[in-house]
Amino acid sequence: MNQMQTAPTGLSRRGALASVLAATVAAMPVMACATTTNEDSAALALCAAFWRVHDRIRAMDTDPELPYGSPEQKRFEADLAKLCGQEVDILSQLANTPAGQQGKAAILRAILPTAFADFDLGIECEEIRLVLSLLDDLAGGLAA
């Protein structure tokens, strides 16, 4: 986004940058979440919800810049913040779901490279919680 005037928008750095995570994933289909077992149905639903929200955020990133401080710009920022919050909520739910290995891996592959570069990720962040959840799944739930 090429905003001519730089001023605080009310979005946190994390919220604003979450909208551009995984720009290289534009071609990843929702079916990257597909698995073959019924126990993964909750994880599949969460994966599909993640990709819907994530795609809406990416689409908003291509919208033309609005005049800073205008009512339209404030609504845009509020809508973007809401979507970023939904994305984090979905990641949190997915991290608490003991299934969906392929979906979790596809999402992490999409969001982690940029997240590590843009954020000070720690053990408490949703991205790292999702990594740990995936590792637990792969290890058969035998977390240390």
The encoded tokens of residue 130 equal: 């999702």
If one compares 82 and 116, the residue with the highest pLDDT of the two is 82
Estimate to the nearest angstrom the gap between the alpha carbon of 92 and the chain centroid. Answer: 10
* Residue 5, in any domain of the structure: no
* Residue 8, in any domain of the structure: no
Residue with tokens 């909750």: 42
The encoded tokens of residue 141 equal: 């739930």
Would you state the pLDDT for residue 8?
A: 43
The encoded tokens of residue 14 equal: 């994390």
* Residue 45, in any domain of the structure: yes
* Residue 7, in any domain of the structure: no
* Residue 143, in any domain of the structure: no
3-class secondary-structure state, position 1: coil
Confidence tier at 30 by pLDDT (50, 70, 90)? very low
* Residue 87, in any domain of the structure: yes
Domain that holds residue 122: 13-24+32-138
The Cα angle at residue 51 between residues 127 and 80, in degrees rounded to 5: 80
If one compares 64 and 7, the residue with the highest pLDDT of the two is 64
Q: What would the mean pLDDT of 21-39 be, rounded to a whole number?
A: 40
Would you state the pLDDT for residue 7?
A: 44
Q: Domain count for the chain, please give it.
A: 1
pLDDT digits (tens, 9 = 90+) for 54-106: 999 989 989 999 999 999 999 999 999 999 999 999 999 988 887 788 888 88
* Residue 119, in any domain of the structure: yes
* Residue 2, in any domain of the structure: no
Rg from Cα positions in the chain: 16
pLDDT higher than threshold 90 for residue 14: no
